[in-house]
């Protein structure tokens, strides 16, 4: 007999992003992959998480998970988010109240809808940005490697990637690639005037740096410098993009005064451009204005740099002023995209429901088969059916199997597609009561 699982798995999402919290708070919450891996075993043990995936980017920190608790509350979800911080090796300052006030929580269909929107770039600071899809895939891969991605999150991530592809295929939102890096370059061009008259320094050689360097080609700056802790990576980026001069980290102080615009996007866990360093650089520039754009999280550039004369510092949240370019066009495409998201979320909800229906329907079929077998044995042992030939007995058994399949099939279709004023859960509960399936063994 199939076992009936009376508990209901709940998919949830709890997190904070650029809409719910400012840069200072997001920076205080930011977790590296190492910190996440350290905290997860304790988080899973304390909260009974069956599955979990953590997405940490410059604009959001989110926990997606599954618990066997159909009545989990927003307060409990906030506790999960709070404990993720507390279980880190370097415990952050007490953030309980701020997390409670600045986090959002979703469950079941709404959690899936949110995940699909995130992966599609429809929940991003830069509407329709492309980088988030790769970050979401990385988070899923980390969960696979950590054995925390179970059947529900696996299905959710697959549907998220499918939704992202469908949105970009069926709308115009992907016609002009956009990202934080794109917005940073557009901002630099806006504040400086024309980038073709200036020298640009990119600090870092990762994905964000590569996107920025490639996009710089559009504005044809006078000169491009790329500085990275690993010189080989900087050299590889220069070769790949076809512009720029690579500098080793040890020569950062020498190249700083040469740059009119600095875009910093490293993965460092601490400030790399301190106020004193920028002051010294400005002294060598004879007071010529410099524009600093920090798109890293945690931040690369000391916010106190704004206290220096002729130094203009912009961070991730400042990019909001440039994401309005072509916004109306992207917004219209996003509206179409959101309809796609809703449709995919509806389908995911049906899949989730089918997981709870299948055990009951399987047990109902087992019940029918057991009942028929029992009654057949009784009837075939008594006259006149005990006089049937083997061929006739087999024919009778086939007929009963056909009836079982018809009954089970009709019930299954009715449960999966309930009539008005009923839902699937109510019908499966009725089956359990009518045929005492919970007691069936």
Active site residues: 58
CA atoms within 13 A on the CB side of 16: 25
Cβ neighbors of 170 (< 8 A, separation 6 or more) are 336, 337, 340
Cα–Cα distances in Å, from 215 out to 190, 205, 320, 346, 362?
Answer: 14, 14, 18, 37, 56
Q: How far apart are CA 122 and CA 105, in angstroms?
A: 18
Tokens of 309: 């004369």
Using alpha carbons, list the distances in angstroms from residue 120 to 107, 112, 162. 19, 12, 9
Tally of residues, the chain: 441
How far apart, in whole angstroms, are the C-alpha atoms of residue 361 and residue 345?
24
Residue of 382, 265, 334, 405 whose CA lies nearest to 122: 334
Closest by Cα among 299, 345, 329, 295 to 127 = 329
Backbone angles phi, psi at 423, to 5 degrees: -130, 165
Q: Residue 278 is inside which H or E element, if any?
A: helix 275-284
**For residue 160, how many other CB atoms are within 10 A of its CB?**
27
Query: Residue 290 pairs with which residues in a beta bridge?
Result: 311
DSSP per-residue string spanning 54-87: EEE-SSEEEEEEEES-TT--HHHHHHHHHHHHHT
CA 26 – CA 28 distance, rounded (Å): 5
């Amino acid at each position: 007999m199939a076992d009936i699982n009376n508990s209901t798995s709940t998919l949830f999402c709890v997190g904070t992003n650029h809409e719910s919290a400012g840069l200072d708070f997001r920076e205080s919450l930011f977790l590296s992959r190492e910190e996440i891996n350290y905290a997860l075993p304790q988080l899973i043990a304390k909260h009974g998480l069956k599955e979990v995936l953590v997405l940490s980017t410059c604009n959001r920190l989110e926990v997606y998970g599954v618990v066997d608790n159909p009545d989990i509350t927003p307060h409990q979800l906030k506790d999960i988010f709070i404990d993720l911080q507390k279980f880190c090796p370097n415990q952050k300052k007490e953030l309980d109240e701020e997390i409670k006030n600045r986090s959002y929580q979703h469950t079941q269909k709404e959690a899936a809808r949110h995940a699909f929107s995130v992966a599609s770039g429809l929940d991003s600071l830069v509407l329709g940005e492309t980088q988030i899809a790769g970050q979401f895939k990385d988070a899923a891969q980390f969960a696979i490697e950590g054995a925390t991605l179970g059947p529900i999150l696996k299905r959710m991530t697959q549907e998220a990637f499918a939704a992202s592809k469908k949105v970009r295929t069926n709308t115009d939102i992907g016609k002009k690639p956009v990202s934080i890096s794109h917005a940073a370059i557009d901002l630099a061009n806006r504040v400086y005037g024309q980038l073709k008259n200036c020298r640009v320094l990119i600090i870092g050689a990762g994905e964000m740096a590569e996107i920025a360097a490639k996009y710089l080609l559009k504005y044809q700056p006078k000169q491009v410098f790329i500085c990275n802790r690993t010189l080989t990576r900087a050299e590889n980026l220069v070769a790949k993009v076809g512009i720029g001069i690579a500098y080793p980290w040890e020569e950062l102080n020498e190249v700083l005064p040469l740059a009119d615009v600095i875009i910093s996007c490293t993965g460092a866990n601490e400030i790399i451009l301190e106020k004193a360093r920028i002051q010294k650089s400005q002294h060598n520039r004879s007071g010529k204005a410099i524009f600093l754009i920090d798109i890293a999280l945690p931040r690369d550039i000391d916010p106190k740099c704004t206290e220096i004369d002729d130094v203009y510092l912009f961070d991730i949240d400042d990019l909001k002023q440039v994401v309005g370019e072509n916004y109306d066009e992207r917004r219209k495409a996003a509206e179409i995209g959101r309809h796609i998201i809703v449709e995919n979320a509806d389908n995911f909800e049906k899949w989730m429901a089918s997981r709870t229906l299948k055990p009951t329907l399987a047990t109902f079929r087992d019940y029918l088969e057991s009942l028929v077998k029992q009654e057949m044995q009784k009837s075939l042992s008594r006259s006149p059916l005990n006089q049937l030939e083997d061929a006739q007995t087999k024919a009778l058994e086939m007929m009963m199997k056909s009836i079982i399949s018809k009954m089970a099939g009709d019930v299954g279709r009715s449960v999966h597609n309930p009539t008005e004023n009923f839902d699937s859960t109510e019908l499966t509960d009725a089956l359990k009561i009518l045929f005492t399936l919970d007691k069936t063994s």
